[in-house]
């Protein structure tokens, strides 16, 4: 039996995980759930599965939730709560569906205590992926990607030697504005930006998909996860979101991973690896696909993608700085403080002007502190604008 803790249970990844595991009660038991703001929804989920450990952000929410539950559960709160749940001996498998850098705390402690970590969150990997990989190695933990492209690569690379890889090719749907003229970008509203054509996701990742920052982050994520040099990672636009990853080998073979766009597939793979389970996918008929479309990405129209390659080349703290700035800039766009076309402007300005401290990151708390400093810096840039 796998005892699962789902971090970010009320989000898109969290809900897909629950939807998947609920059909396999002989294999999985949900022993921990977390959320930040959607406390009622968290309560409902906890009641259904009688979850023994629950974590919320605020102490007050924890106390209210504990007293309104119909059964006895440990209700923890804050960073300490995330750490405690991730470290519990009872938990052997963790799903990281929290958005943003806060996911670093449960990811780190789950790895440190030797667990399987099915990770959807890319912010942590971009910012301190090497540190996480090192902890996983030392503590004999497993870090398995859930991001669909990286799950595709993870699957495709199971049997191939690294020296045979010529290119990893990431597919991008292009988001909702791929065909929108650049001159209209300033008029794009948050409502339009979060309406992704093929995936149903949280607001932050939806905006990142619309700017192609998400694809840029995935380039950096692939570089860290698979230890592949940046010049061997390419992006193609594939609006159908059916092919999730392509591995080009030195002998001219292209291995592609095709599946319907449903995150449950990647989640199930990460939870069951190296085994697989049957998932019934409705309404998918390969014959109706007829043809697969691939196009070159437009770097001029989507400069965020270029920024990702730039920080990947610079290395050091630059990927973390880009990621932190993006959290602030996307939030500013979602709250109507800046327009869509200004997103890359503030990212680039942060990269150019933030003074990088001469420090070594010794642990995740150092990384979180640096992240916070970048966020403050970008917030001030936006305030002064």
Ligand X SMILES: NC(=O)c1ccc[n+]([C@@H]2O[C@H](COP(=O)([O-])OP(=O)(O)OC[C@H]3O[C@@H](n4cnc5c(N)ncnc54)[C@H](OP(=O)(O)O)[C@@H]3O)[C@@H](O)[C@H]2O)c1
Residues that bind ligand X (CB under 6 A): 8-14, 35-38, 57, 97-100, 102, 120-123, 147, 199, 201-203, 205, 263
Q: Supply φ then ψ for residue 372, to 5 degrees.
A: -65, -40
**Minimum distance, C-beta of residue 259 to ligand X, in the bound complex (Å):** 13
- 104 within 8 A of 82, measured Cβ to Cβ: no
Q: Which is nearer to ligand X, 98 or 329 (CB)?
A: 98
Which tokens sit at 36? 């930040």
Q: Which is nearer to ligand X, 98 or 349 (CB)?
A: 98
**Minimum distance, C-beta of residue 384 to ligand X, in the bound complex (Å):** 26
Q: How far apart are CA 86 and CA 111, in angstroms?
A: 9
**Minimum distance, C-beta of residue 123 to ligand X, in the bound complex (Å):** 5
147 is in an annotated binding site: yes
335 is in an annotated binding site: no
215 is in an annotated binding site: yes
202 is in an annotated binding site: yes
User: What is the crossing angle of helices 343-353 and 303-314, to 10°?
Assistant: 20
Q: Which is nearer to ligand X, 196 or 349 (CB)?
A: 196
**Minimum distance, C-beta of residue 360 to ligand X, in the bound complex (Å):** 26
Neighbours of 84 (CB within 10 A): 18
Say whether 23 sits in a helix, a strand or coil.
coil
214 is in an annotated binding site: yes
Name the residue with the smallest CB distance to ligand X: 11
355 is in an annotated binding site: no
**Minimum distance, C-beta of residue 253 to ligand X, in the bound complex (Å):** 27
Q: How far apart are CA 37 and CA 34, in angstroms?
A: 10
173 is in an annotated binding site: yes
Which tokens sit at 78? 């804050």
Q: Which is nearer to ligand X, 349 or 371 (CB)?
A: 371
Contact partners, residue 206, CB within 8 Å, separation at least 6:
193, 194, 195, 196, 199
Q: Which is nearer to ligand X, 35 or 131 (CB)?
A: 35
Which residues is 93 bridged to in the sheet?
Answer: 4, 116
Instruction: Find where tokens 């890889």 sit.
Output: 165
β-pairing verdict for 165-172 and 243-249: antiparallel
Q: How far apart are CA 355 and CA 350, in angstroms?
A: 9
Annotated binding site for 1-deoxy-D-xylulose 5-phosphate: 122, 148-149, 173, 196, 209, 214-215, 218
Annotated binding site for NADPH: 10-13, 121, 123, 202
Annotated binding site: 10-13, 121-123, 147-149, 173, 196, 202, 209, 214-215, 218
């Amino acid at each position: 039996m796998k005892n699962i803790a789902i971090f970010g249970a009320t989000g898109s990844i969290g809900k897909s995980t629950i939807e998947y595991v609920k059909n396999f009660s002989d294999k999985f038991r949900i022993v921990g759930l977390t959320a930040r703001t959607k406390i009622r929804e968290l309560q409902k989920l906890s009641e259904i599965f009688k979850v023994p450990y629950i974590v919320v952000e605020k102490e007050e929410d924890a106390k209210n939730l504990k007293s309104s539950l119909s059964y006895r559960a440990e209700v923890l709160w804050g960073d300490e709560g995330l750490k405690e749940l991730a470290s519990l001996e009872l938990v052997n498998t963790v799903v990281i569906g929290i958005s943003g850098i806060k996911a670093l705390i449960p990811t780190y402690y789950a790895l440190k205590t030797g667990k399987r970590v099915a990770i959807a969150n890319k912010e942590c990997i971009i910012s301190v992926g090497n540190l996480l990989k090192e902890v996983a190695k030392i503590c004999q933990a497993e870090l398995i990607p859930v991001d669909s492209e990286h799950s595709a690569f993870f699957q495709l690379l199971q049997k191939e030697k690294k020296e045979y890889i010529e290119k990893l090719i990431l597919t991008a749907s292009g988001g909702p504005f791929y065909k929108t003229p650049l001159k209209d970008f300033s008029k794009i509203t948050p409502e339009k930006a979060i309406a992704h054509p093929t995936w149903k996701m949280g607001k932050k990742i939806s905006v990142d998909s619309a700017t192609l920052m998400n694809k840029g982050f995935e380039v950096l994520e692939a570089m860290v996860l698979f230890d592949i040099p940046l010049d061997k990672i390419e992006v193609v636009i594939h609006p159908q979101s059916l092919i999730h990853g392509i591995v080009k080998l030195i002998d001219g073979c292209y291995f592609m991973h095709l599946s319907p766009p449903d995150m449950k597939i990647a989640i199930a793979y990460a939870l069951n690896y190296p085994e697989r389970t049957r998932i019934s996918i409705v309404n998918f008929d390969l014959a109706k696909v007829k043809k697969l479309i691939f196009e070159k990405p437009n770097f001029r129209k989507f400069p965020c993608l270029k920024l990702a390659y730039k920080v990947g080349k610079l290395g050091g703290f630059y990927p973390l700085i880009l990621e932190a700035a993006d959290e602030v800039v996307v939030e500013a766009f979602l709250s109507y403080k800046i327009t869509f076309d200004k997103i890359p402007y503030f990212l680039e300005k942060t990269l150019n002007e933030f003074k990088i401290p001469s420090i070594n990151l010794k642990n995740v708390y150092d990384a979180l502190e640096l992240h916070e400093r970048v966020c403050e810096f970008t917030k001030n840039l936006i305030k002064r604008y």
